[in-house]
């Protein structure tokens, strides 16, 4: 069960801040991030990659996107 960051409805930089805080907290593993705009999806992906995390999956749903990021 991965950790969930629900940034739906929040505009940048909030989704990135929340993701980076979670990355700092757990160091490695899997995080599932909910965002609602393409901008947030791009920004979160960029920030995660800069921390050495991989984008494992991106799902589009009615309310936006669900990103799964991973670090072994």
Which CB atom, from 25 or from 72, has the smaller least distance to another protein? Answer: 25
13 part of the interface to another protein, by CB under 8 A: yes
Chain-centre distance for alpha carbon 47: 9
21 part of the interface to another protein, by CB under 8 A: yes
Across 1-72, the runs of DSSP E, i.e. the strands, are 3-6, 29-35, 54-61, 64-71
Q: Is the dihedral of CA 42, 58, 3, 28 positive or negative?
A: negative
Which CB atom, from 55 or from 71, has the smaller least distance to another protein? Answer: 55
Write out the residues near another protein by the rule CB under 8 A. 5-6, 8-14, 16-18, 20-22, 36-39, 42-43, 46-47, 50, 58, 63-64
């Amino acid at each position: 069960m991965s950790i969930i960051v629900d940034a739906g409805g929040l505009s940048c930089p909030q989704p990135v801040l929340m993701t980076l805080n979670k990355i700092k907290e757990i160091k490695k593993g899997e995080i599932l991030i909910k965002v609602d705009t393409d901008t947030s999806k791009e920004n979160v992906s960029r920030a995660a990659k800069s921390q050495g995390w991989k984008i494992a999956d991106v799902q589009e749903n009615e309310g936006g996107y669900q990103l799964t990021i991973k670090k072994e």
